[in-house]
Amino acid sequence: MIRIKDHKQLDMFDPWDFLSPKRRRMLDEGWPGLFRSELLCELPVNEICPFLREDFGRPSKELYTLLGVLLLQQTMDLADDDAIEQVAFNIQWHYALNITEDSDSAKYISEKTLWSWRQILIENNLDQLMFENIGDKLAKVFNVNTDKQRIDSVHIKSNMRRLGRIGIFSQTINKFLVNLKRHHRDLFDTVSPQVLDRYASKKALAAFSLVKPSAAEKTLKTVSGELFDLIEQFKDHSKVCEMHSYKLMQRVLNEQCNVDSSNEGPKVKMKKPKEIPSDSLQNPSDPDATYSGHKGQGYQVQVMETFTETGDKDKKEQTLNLVTHVSVERACEHDSGALVPAIEDTQNRGLGPSTVLADTLYGSDDNVVAAKAVEVELIAPTAKGGNTGPIELSQFDFNQKKRVTVCPQGHAPEKVKYKKKKDRYSACFEVDCCSNCADVDRCRVQRGKKHYYLRYSSKDYRLAVRRSIESTDEFVDAYRWRAGVEAAMSEYNTLTGVKRLRVRGFKAVRYCATLKAAGLNLLRAARVRRARMRAEQTPKGRTSSFCMLFPIIKERIWNFFSNLGKLSTAQPFGADSYYELAA
């Protein structure tokens, strides 16, 4: 049965009147008060109602409470046991979730309930909906200006062990043997006893971690050969071939080895490390994890947030930098492919930017053109590769029609041709002019039959224009705000623990990273809300009574010690003078 509480309905008597005014103010100013007043009713309760029946079964846990616990669990980076304790005893959680009852049905959730509903959210991609609802609501409440945003990625790891090539082979074989014994015991008994002794137990697997570097090559040949033999032994059993662990063995063989078929029979040869693709299997316990040559095994999260160009500390504290987009990708994915989907996602939700700051990996010419097509300006440095000489194309002068007018030495070309089909420009310079130039060996021009030619495309021209702009003070001043996204990534990890997760698999990693981003928005918004409330209590231009009286008190103390020998003639500092001075 479905159980939903209407949190918008007012209570006749305040259920939180047992709290002292100071503790109540702390709750209202912190994240519990913000979550209770603005975000609790934004949780997608209606989306999980179809998984329950109204006319059958025991009453469910209150659905707003259930979704709120799952969100707060990721925000605070808690295990299931810790989350259960928090919802049972923590008054901050009670206040945030508006739990006014003192019964087990209201303040207790079992591990099975948490696990079951977490799986429902993961399989139905409801974590993304929860993130969007919370982000959209906070954008309205705090009147967030989304015109200027910045994007970057952060590398994260699932709960898997980092394995070498020997470990990948041995763990994959072990997983297959365990599943084969569980589902096909008769076929398991046909496996060689030598293979069972080597891979079937955890104690035997521990021996592979003790392999010396000098014996690593020999051990690799052994484990790869035994993996190949197992694949060949069961390739004619259809039920075994359908097993996930058997397919993992096939995947490891294809990614790590070359099978050489000859008259003497197939031979397994290990591939060189450079030949192994970055999306190869890293650990059989998490087949979705891939490899990044820069950051290692795991996943990556694309994060885009708003920002304001201000150095005023008070204004900065009262402005919310909202995470508007978050998406989880494989570690082997390039950052350049994440920009356009991020812009489209935010525009579809009404949070689209007009300017995006990004690093060089996002600043490809295709991304600049695609962003411009949707009226978004991408500010990112260009990659410095691809130059044919020290003299770059940006050092030439062009007219509005993209044609070269003057070279770096001040010489004009005889003519400039343009081939529309190939999108190719050719600037022709005199032979005598270029051959006598001291910089001809460093220049981009190439010797032809009749002229020296400078050939470039429209893409080369756009990159040259961007490189010339990058040296200006205007670009430096605009791009310096991109560095703030590094602080956001640090806060993302420090507050929510996103870089090391407790789960495995792409869907589970996506669920955790997305809800942690929603939790980061909650914690940031609470900090901004507290700063605004305190600013309202102490208006700008006015100071507290103590600050006003401090110079006077200091002067009174000085006079007291100065006239210590004349206490009989000193004027007392009484209550009347205090109120008089304060007024």
Burial readout 433-469 (b: 16 or more C-beta within 10 A, e: otherwise) = bbeebeebeebbbeeeeebbbbebeeebbebbebbbe
What pLDDT, on the 0 to 100 scale, is given for residue 373?
A: 94
The residue extents of the domains of the chain are 21-124, 148-156+296-383+477-530, 165-275, 393-472, 545-582
The angle at the Cα of 102, spanning 98 to 108, to the nearest 5 degrees, equals 80
How far apart, in whole angstroms, are the C-alpha atoms of residue 387 and residue 198?
A: 54
pTM above 0.75, yes or no: yes
Please report how the helices 216-233 and 165-183 are oriented relative to each other, as an axis angle in degrees rounded to 10: 30
What pLDDT, on the 0 to 100 scale, is given for residue 256?
A: 92
CB 464 within 8 A of CB 407: no
Helices (H), 338-386: 339-348, 365-373
Residue 565 has pLDDT above 60, yes or no: no
Average pLDDT score over residue span 129-152: 95
Q: Which are the contacts of 83, defined by CB distance < 8 A and separation ≥ 6?
A: 69, 72, 73, 76, 109, 114
How far apart, in whole angstroms, are the C-alpha atoms of residue 77 and residue 71?
A: 10
Q: Which residue did the predictor score with more confidence, 372 or 547?
A: 372
Q: 424, exposed or middle or buried, with CB in 10 Å at 0-12, 13-18, 19+? A: middle
How far apart, in whole angstroms, are the C-alpha atoms of residue 474 and residue 366?
A: 23
221-230, 362-371, 420-429: least confidently modelled range: 420-429
Structure tokens at 375: 């009226």
State whether residue 57 is helix, strand or coil.
Answer: coil
CB 269 within 8 A of CB 261: no
How far apart, in whole angstroms, are the C-alpha atoms of residue 67 and residue 72?
A: 9
What pLDDT, on the 0 to 100 scale, is given for residue 340?
A: 95
State whether residue 416 is helix, strand or coil.
Answer: strand
State whether residue 488 is helix, strand or coil.
Answer: helix
Structure tokens at 574: 């009484």
pLDDT in tens, 487-535: 999 999 999 999 999 999 999 999 999 999 999 999 999 999 999 988 8
Q: What is the DSSP string of 418-475?
A: EETTTTEEEEEE-HHHHHT-TTTTTSS-EE-SSSEEEEEEHHHHHHHHHHHHHTSHHH
What pLDDT, on the 0 to 100 scale, is given for residue 40?
A: 94
Residue 451 has pLDDT above 60, yes or no: yes
Confidence of residue 573 (pLDDT cuts 50, 70, 90): very low
Q: Which of 3.40.50.2300, 2.60.120.200, 3.30.420.10, 3.40.50.300 is the CATH number of 148-156+296-383+477-530?
A: 3.30.420.10
Average pLDDT score over residue span 400-410: 86
CB atoms within 10 A of CB 412: 14
pLDDT in tens, 61-76: 899 999 999 999 999 9
What pLDDT, on the 0 to 100 scale, is given for residue 569?
A: 45
pLDDT in tens, 123-135: 999 999 999 999 9
Backbone angles phi, psi at 456, to 5 degrees: -155, 160
CB atoms within 10 A of CB 293: 8
Measured between its terminal Cα atoms, the distance across the chain in Å is 63
Please give the biggest Cα pair distance in the chain: 119
Structure tokens at 113: 């309930």
Closest by Cα among 239, 240, 234, 219 to 169: 219
2-6, 118-122, 570-574: least confidently modelled range: 570-574
pLDDT in tens, 148-167: 999 999 999 999 988 889 99
Residue 460 has pLDDT above 80, yes or no: yes
Residue 191 has pLDDT above 60, yes or no: yes
How far apart, in whole angstroms, are the C-alpha atoms of residue 396 and residue 409?
A: 9
Confidence of residue 383 (pLDDT cuts 50, 70, 90): confident
Average pLDDT score over residue span 195-212: 85
Residue 447 has pLDDT above 60, yes or no: yes
For all residues of the chain together, what is the average pLDDT? 87
Sign of CA dihedral 38, 40, 45, 47: positive
pLDDT in tens, 282-340: 999 999 999 988 888 999 999 999 999 887 888 888 999 999 999 999 999 999 999 99
How far apart, in whole angstroms, are the C-alpha atoms of residue 336 and residue 341?
A: 10
How far apart, in whole angstroms, are the C-alpha atoms of residue 298 and residue 133?
A: 28
Amino acid (one-letter) located at 281: L
Q: 474, exposed or middle or buried, with CB in 10 Å at 0-12, 13-18, 19+? A: exposed
How far apart, in whole angstroms, are the C-alpha atoms of residue 516 and residue 72?
A: 9
How far apart, in whole angstroms, are the C-alpha atoms of residue 5 and residue 68?
A: 13
Average pLDDT score over residue span 433-444: 83
